[in-house]
Chains A and B, each alone.
Chain A
């Protein structure tokens, strides 16, 4: 089916009066999405894993009754049992509960950070690519400079500043969101700029210019919707990467201070009990692995679906 046919069909679908109200329409949209996803096995496995993950994050207060922070020395370092599904840690806290609360925070920070990165990077890249010329050159050199920070170094600087200013709790999480989002911005900007340069030449842009639309309107209303799919794929994969970075920072002891439940710092604390209770170190690691894998599988599959040229390989 060509693009034009698809557009026409979509238009018809919108014009047609709703059958069975809003719920039915939602169900249809979900059904369509699932049908598309089924085309890629990796995407559907990833989607199922993500649904489970988000479900657990949302339902946390209902699927555990323990407190993630309150210590209970009488029950420390217990193996998994009926009472404590995954056992207890060095302070007698239920590991299953800590994983749930930690995951909730981690996923929320990652989602916010990636959204922040997109909302900075897309306008930056689209405008830079659309205007071109000197503006573009200057804007892109700035991006190159930001990309020059290898690995964790940029985050280390920001996290250190947060520590020196004694920023704690929610404000500390906000700093993480800012740093991770800001570091994602250059990649988004480059990607959207590249797509804009490719789209700019196409006829539909010429057409809207001929009709007399302003530059900004063209950039945002015409070009943006057409470059969105590589960005979605990129953002999905980035979510996994962001989670790895947050975990690495708190593993180093530079992220979230205890006693806040956190997969990275829980893993670091478990290192002292590696010989006596290796399972404690296993669970947070598995949780990180599961989450990152879910995002990577979903992103990979999504790439195959949205870019059929690659899927044929």
Chain B
């Protein structure tokens, strides 16, 4: 077990290296150099100033030296300053993390609340009207673009019925009621979409489990059908469902750019998107790197938990 963990953590090193090289290359490949981006906004083209800045940013050194320096500082959490606000990039990014985590966690919980019962019923009542409805609905759910679904929700619940605000955010610790009202539409948009995937998965893993011999045994000793399903089958079938939901959560932390910008949700995805619009490239660079690291580490944790909970999986 320990050897396995050590090896998996060691695998992270090349993965993170590839990630950091791609992110570093992105800024290197921008036209002109960073000095143009820096002084361009202020209309300052004094050659003296350029020289000083070039030295400060190490542009007189070869690319691998710059990469090494950048990486050393990044590992210590120093990503430089935002070109727009002039505040440290790390501070700007940290400010977005709580809102993103809030939305992702509520969205995934909602998704599981919908998907697990629906997928289970579809599997137990296989090839009935309920099953077909669940399958068709989830296929459509996968095919709907999330931004369109979000817009339709806004159109109906905000503009037509006027029940909910169309976008915005309130701190749940300061004003829980207002916060909830802002949360409902974005969380539904996240939740329904993820539920579409999870329902399909729950259904097929339930069917897998129900075909296993222990289910026949349980039935033959006279256990009630309800007990067979809820006490034994569902529990085993939940393992892949929970694993995938964890992966979805990890991906949502970095993947809600579109929804965050539709609902003006002050998360890290919107921060990166706005940084792109404002050409604030240090923030974009750091944001993508941080989200990538979060996703990679979360994936590792999920994998380890999965193996801990499921001793049948070998630590090969």
Contacts and interface: CB of A to CB of B under 8 A. Distances in A.
Given A289-B143, A289-B148, A144 B14 contact: yes
Contact of A251 (B139, B254, B258): B258
A13 interface: no
A151 B257 contact: yes
Contacts of A254: 276
A262 to B, nearest CB: 13
B82 interface: no
B273 A150 contact: no
Interface in A143-191: 144-146, 148-154, 156-157, 160-161, 164-165
Contact of A148 (B26, B30, B295): B295
Contact of B31 (A165, A267, A271, A285): A165
A288 B145 contact: yes
Interface string B1-30: 000000000010011111100110010011
A112 interface: no
A281 B250 CA distance: 31
A290 to B, nearest CB: 8
B152 interface: yes
A150 B253 contact: yes
B145 A148 contact: no
A117 interface: no
A152 to B, nearest CB: 5
Contacts of A297: 139
B152 A285 contact: yes
A150 B251 contact: yes
A150 to B, nearest CB: 3
A243 B144 CA distance: 11
Contacts of A145: 14-19, 22
B151 A271 contact: yes
Contacts of B144: 285, 289, 292
A240 interface: yes
B255 interface: yes
User: Which applies to chain A's interface (DSSP): helix, strand, loop or mixed?
Assistant: helix
Interface in A234-289: 240, 244, 247-248, 251-252, 254, 267, 271, 274-275, 278, 281, 285, 288-289
A150 B291 contact: yes
Given A289-B140, A296-B143, A149 B288 contact: yes
A142 B255 contact: no
B204 interface: yes
Contacts of A288: 145, 148
B308 interface: no
Would you call the interface of chain B mostly helix, strand, loop, or mixed? helix
A161 B17 CA distance: 21
A136 interface: no
Interface in A215-250: 240, 244, 247-248
B155 interface: yes
B185 to A, nearest CB: 14
B148 A267 contact: yes
A135 to B, nearest CB: 14
Interface string B146-187: 111001101100010000000000000000000000000000
Contact of A313 (B204, B250, B272): B204
B89 interface: no
B11 A141 contact: yes
A285 B250 contact: no
A146 B25 CA distance: 14
A252 to B, nearest CB: 6
A161 B30 contact: yes
Which among B22, B147, B250 has the greatest number of chain A C-beta atoms within 10 A?
A: B147
Given A141-B15, A144-B14, A157-B288, A150 B250 contact: yes
A160 B17 contact: no
B147 A248 contact: yes
3 shortest A-B CB distances, which residue pairs? A145-B18, A151-B255, A150-B254
Given A150-B295, A151-B252, 19 more contacts: A141-B18, A142-B18, A144-B11, A145-B17, A146-B18, A148-B296, A150-B251, A156-B284, A161-B29, A251-B147, A252-B261, A267-B151, A271-B151, A281-B151, A285-B151, A288-B145, A292-B143, A293-B143, A300-B139
28 contacts: A141-B15, A145-B22, A148-B292, A150-B251, A150-B255, A150-B295, A151-B251, A151-B252, A151-B254, A151-B255, A152-B255, A157-B22, A157-B23, A160-B284, A165-B31, A244-B145, A248-B145, A251-B147, A251-B258, A274-B159, A281-B155, A285-B144, A285-B145, A285-B152, A289-B148, A296-B139, A297-B139, A313-B208
Interface of B: 11, 14-19, 22-23, 26, 29-31, 139-140, 142-148, 151-152, 154-155, 159, 204, 207-208, 211, 250-258, 261, 272-273, 276, 284, 288, 291-292, 295-296
Interface of A: 141-142, 144-146, 148-154, 156-157, 160-161, 164-165, 240, 244, 247-248, 251-252, 254, 267, 271, 274-275, 278, 281, 285, 288-289, 292-293, 296-297, 300, 313
